[in-house]
Structure 1
Amino acid sequence: MKKTFKIYAVIFIVVMLILALLEVNKKETVSWRKNFDVNEKSPFGLFVFNNEAKDLFKNNLKKTEEAPYDYYSQRKKEAHNIVVIQNELDKESWKKILDQVSDGSDALILSNKVPKDVSDSIGYYDSDISFAEQNVLKLTDKQYQNDFIQLDKFPSGKGFSYIKPKVEVLGKTVEKNNSDQANFIKTKFGKGNIYIHCEPLFLTNYYLLKPGNQKYAQDVFSYLQDRETIWFVKKNTKMSRFFMRFVLSNPALKYAWWVFLGGLVLFIFFNTKRKQRIVPVLEPLRNTSLDFVKSIGNLYLQEGDFHDMMAKKGQYFLNKIRMDLLIDTQHLDADFANKLQLKTGKPMEMISEAIALIKKGQDPYANVMKEDLIRMNKLLDEIMG
Structure 2
Amino acid sequence: MSKRGKLYITLIAITVLTIIALEMTKPKQINWFESYALHHKIPFGSFVFKEQLQRVSKKVKLVERPPFEYLKSNSANGTYIFYNDVINFGREELNSLLDWVDKGNTLLVSARDFEPMLLDTLHLKTLSVNTIGNFNNEYKVQLVNPRLDNNSFKYDKPTTFYHFNKIDTLKTNVVGFIDAYRNPQEEAIKDSLVNIIKQPFGDGTIILSTFPQAFTNYFILKTPNHNYTASLLSYINTDEPIFVDTYYKSGKKFYTSPMYLFLNNRALKWAYYIVLICVLIYIVFEGKRKQRAIPIITPLKNHTVSFTRTIANMYYEKGKNKDIAKHKIQHFLEYIRNTMYLQTATIDAEFIKNLAARSNNTLEDTETVFNFISNIEKQTTVNNIELERLNTLIDNFKSHNQWKTKP
Structure 1 residues 16-39: Cα deviation after superposition (integer angstroms, max 9, x where no partner):
856642431344222323221223
Partner of 2:235: 223
CA shift in 2, pair 1:287/1:259, >3 Å? farther
Partner of 2:98: 98
- What's the CA shift for 1:283? 4.6
Q: Distance in 1 between matches of 2:334 and 2:18?
A: 74
Scaled by the length of structure 2, the TM-score of the pair is 0.61
Q: Distance in 2 between matches of 1:280 and 1:11?
A: 40
Q: Amino acid of the residue matched to residue 81 of structure 1?
A: T
How do residues 60-209 of structure 1 correspond to structure 2 at under 5 angstroms? Answer: 60-77=59-76, 79-86=77-84, 88-91=87-90, 92-131=92-131, 132=134, 133-144=137-148, 146-165=150-169, 166-175=171-180, 176=182, 179-209=191-221
- What's the CA shift for 1:237? 3.8
For residue 147 of structure 2, give the secondary structure of its aligned residue in structure 1.
helix
Is the 2:149–2:227 Cα contact (8 Å) retained in structure 1? no
Q: Distance in 2 between matches of 1:279 and 1:18?
A: 44
Q: Amino acid of the residue matched to residue 177 of structure 2?
A: K
Instruction: State the Cα RMSD in Å.
Output: 4.3
Q: Amino acid of the residue matched to residue 57 of structure 2?
A: K
Q: Distance in 2 between matches of 1:135 and 1:241?
A: 37
CA shift in 2, pair 1:11/1:136, >3 Å? closer
CA shift in 2, pair 1:363/1:151, >3 Å? farther
- What's the CA shift for 1:254? 3.1
Q: Please, which runs of 5 or more residues in structure 2 have no aligned partner?
A: 1-9, 184-189, 287-291, 305-332, 355-407
CA shift in 2, pair 1:300/1:106, >3 Å? same
Structure 1 residues 210-253: Cα deviation after superposition (integer angstroms, max 9, x where no partner):
11110010010101013211111136542358888654532542
CA shift in 2, pair 1:68/1:286, >3 Å? same
Partner of 1:292: none
Structure label with greater radius of gyration:
2
How do residues 303-314 of structure 1 correspond to structure 2 at under 5 angstroms? Answer: 303=340, 305=341, 307-308=342-343
- What's the CA shift for 1:162? 1.1
Q: Distance in 2 between matches of 1:183 and 1:157?
A: 9
- What's the CA shift for 1:47? 2.3
CA shift in 2, pair 1:33/1:187, >3 Å? same
Q: Amino acid of the residue matched to residue 83 of structure 1?
A: I
Partner of 1:317: none
User: Which range is displaced more, 229-238 or 67-76?
Assistant: 229-238
For residue 269 of structure 2, give the secondary structure of its aligned residue in structure 1.
helix
Structure 1 residues 187-209: Cα deviation after superposition (integer angstroms, max 9, x where no partner):
01000110001111122222211
Partner of 1:43: 43
Q: Distance in 2 between matches of 1:135 and 1:284?
A: 84
Find out whether 1:250 has 2:265 as its counterpart: yes
Q: Distance in 1 between matches of 2:57 and 2:149?
A: 25
CA shift in 2, pair 1:20/1:104, >3 Å? same
Q: Distance in 2 between matches of 1:130 and 1:189?
A: 31
Q: Please, which runs of 5 or more residues in structure 1 have no aligned partner?
A: 1-9, 272-276, 290-295, 313-360, 369-385
CA shift in 2, pair 1:11/1:253, >3 Å? farther
Scaled by the length of structure 1, the TM-score of the pair is 0.64
Q: Distance in 1 between matches of 2:163 and 2:21?
A: 48
Which one has a larger percent helix, Structure 1 or Structure 2? 1
- What's the CA shift for 1:82? 1.1
For residue 253 of structure 1, give the secondary structure of its aligned residue in structure 2.
helix
Is the 1:138–1:174 Cα contact (8 Å) retained in structure 2? no
For residue 69 of structure 1, give the secondary structure of its aligned residue in structure 2.
helix
CA shift in 2, pair 1:169/1:298, >3 Å? farther
Q: Distance in 1 between matches of 2:350 and 2:256?
A: 104
CA shift in 2, pair 1:204/1:364, >3 Å? farther
